[in-house]
Amino acid sequence: MAEELNPAVSDLAADAAGPETETEEPIKQRKNGLYPGVSDELGENMKSGWADTELRDLEPIAQAAETAARRAALSARFPGERLVIPAGNLKTRSNDTEYSFRASVEYAYLTGNQTEDGVLVLEPRGEGHTATIYLLPRSNRENGEFWLNGQGELWVGRRHSLTEAEKLYGIPASDVRELADALREATGPVRVVRGYDAGIEAALADKVTAEHDEELRVFLSEARLVKDDFEIGELQKAVDSTVRGFEDVVKVLDKAEATSERYIEGTFFLRARVEGNDVGYGSICAAGPHACTLHWVRNDGPVRSGDLLLLDAGVETHTYYTADVTRTLPINGRYSELQKKIYDAVYDAQEAGIAAVKPGAKYRDFHDASQRVLAERLVEWGLVEGPVERVLELGLQRRWTLHGTGHMLGMDVHDCAAARVESYVDGTLEPGMVLTVEPGLYFQADDLTVPEEYRGIGVRIEDDILVTADGNRNLSAGLPRRSDEVEEWMAALKG
């Protein structure tokens, strides 16, 4: 299987072996001495003289107990069935370069591992299942794959041995190159998480159904609705790094004014890469009227004193948990009177939304609470004809509020997206759920229905809220929200 996984393998092997190399056949099928451009002497020489680097005192990863509990819950839901959860494969960006790899959420959630081409298999055994993690093992030095194959460790770096992986993840590990054949031959009911590994899916093609596979995906999405203590700790870490990233941005606003929104994106990204794994989603660094474009990620516009900056960004931790925070900041440090009026309305809407987040509340409550405040203000400002009840009933406020007021947050920024409506949008909040509360008002630059001075102003305030036993906790309280506090905070950072 390994040969099929990476189309760049043969190109890289060609680089190693010289331009004359014929590279169509997989390395492992070649005999020694058959590599054009590699002398027998060099081939022999490369086989030996390498130290034993096996890591013998590895401790399990921090979340080993949690991942085991998650696998146990999955096992209990699908007794007697083989369950296949792939990490996914590298994706080509162009020619022989790939996008940086991110394992599937389902795989990472159940194993804590993040390796490309990995596959978790739960094999029915007695009352439950036995788990095996299938991985590419360390490179063989004897057959040349170590240096002649593009997935060889010489090119991509040392991998964990299967024994090391077993110690780290608490799951027996096996060679993934043998998995597709084994799955092809296996009998009995089986389900696979689709969309990540075409090779594994092909091996299972005549054994699975879309409907059964979807049930597996839905279960793994709903399982993530309530976060365990490890996950809440990671989300707090993600938020804390994000707070520092926002501080970084405020400190360099003058440099952004001299260049573009890209300076803001790059500044935040530096914090994300140094403290975490990456940004959890493309940072929205929207100055001036770009704030009204909800997914503004081009970030190539000017940053001008007197305008607002809507910054929606989140650091993702090494374990893939992401923050999702928005602040709308006056670029020169002071909100204008109109900017403040709009900002304070959004703030009040967010306050009402956050107050509605508590165990037992309907998921929709916080959205409704925020929308009501925004509708009230829009009526008050004369932008839409009241009464407020009529506006809400007809949804007239949505011309300017545009989006839902929040979503679940976790390993995906829009987490648990495959959950059923009855367990998410029509569901009830429980302790351990983490969601964003993010109302906004957006007056498009070309919106002729609002006074000219409103046009091009967009405001969103977004925080990450944990449902607790008796209410909620704002994980992103480290960033000020109230307009006067934002101004003070900015003044202090700019010195």
Smallest separation (angstroms) from Mn ion to the CB of 414: 7
Closest CA to 104 of 123, 120, 121, 82: 120
Smallest separation (angstroms) from Mn ion to the CB of 452: 30
Among 241, 350, 397, 436, binds Mn ion (CB under 5 A): 436
Taking CB under 5 A as the binding criterion, the range among 42-50, 58-66, 178-186, 436-444 that sits at the site for Mn ion is 436-444
Taking CB under 5 A as the binding criterion, the range among 110-118, 139-147, 293-301, 320-328 that sits at the site for Mn ion is 320-328
Q: In whole angstroms, what is the distance from residue 283 CA to residue 261 CA? A: 10
Shorter beta-carbon distance to Mn ion: residue 169 or 320: 320
Smallest separation (angstroms) from Mn ion to the CB of 312: 7
Q: Is 415 in the site for Mn ion (CB under 5 A)?
A: no
Smallest separation (angstroms) from Mn ion to the CB of 300: 22
Smallest separation (angstroms) from Mn ion to the CB of 365: 18
- Give the tokens for residue 8: 């760049």
Among 81, 231, 261, 324, binds Mn ion (CB under 5 A): 324
Taking CB under 5 A as the binding criterion, the range among 176-184, 198-206, 226-234, 317-325 that sits at the site for Mn ion is 317-325
Please work out the total of residues on this chain that contact Mn ion, with binding judged by CB under 5 A: 2
Helical pair 337-355 and 365-380, crossing angle rounded to 10 deg? 150
- Give the tokens for residue 393: 């009933």
Taking CB under 5 A as the binding criterion, the range among 108-116, 230-238, 264-272, 316-324 that sits at the site for Mn ion is 316-324
Smallest separation (angstroms) from Mn ion to the CB of 464: 9
Residues 260, 264, 269, 271: is their CA dihedral positive or negative?
positive
Smallest separation (angstroms) from Mn ion to the CB of 127: 41
Shorter beta-carbon distance to Mn ion: residue 171 or 284: 284
Smallest separation (angstroms) from Mn ion to the CB of 278: 17
Q: Cα-Cα-Cα-Cα dihedral of 206, 212, 213, 215, to 10°?
A: 180
For tokens 């449902």, what's the residue? 467
Shorter beta-carbon distance to Mn ion: residue 78 or 400: 400
Smallest separation (angstroms) from Mn ion to the CB of 23: 46
Shorter beta-carbon distance to Mn ion: residue 197 or 463: 463
Taking CB under 5 A as the binding criterion, the range among 6-14, 280-288, 321-329, 383-391 that sits at the site for Mn ion is 321-329
Distances (CA, A) of 465 to 128, 314, 461: 36, 14, 13
Shorter beta-carbon distance to Mn ion: residue 70 or 367: 367
Taking CB under 5 A as the binding criterion, the range among 57-65, 163-171, 236-244, 430-438 that sits at the site for Mn ion is 430-438
Shorter beta-carbon distance to Mn ion: residue 46 or 425: 425
Shorter beta-carbon distance to Mn ion: residue 113 or 436: 436
Smallest separation (angstroms) from Mn ion to the CB of 413: 6
Shorter beta-carbon distance to Mn ion: residue 242 or 436: 436
Taking CB under 5 A as the binding criterion, the range among 186-194, 302-310, 347-355, 429-437 that sits at the site for Mn ion is 429-437
Shorter beta-carbon distance to Mn ion: residue 107 or 296: 296
Shorter beta-carbon distance to Mn ion: residue 137 or 406: 406
Residues forming the site for Mn ion (CB under 5 A) = 324, 436
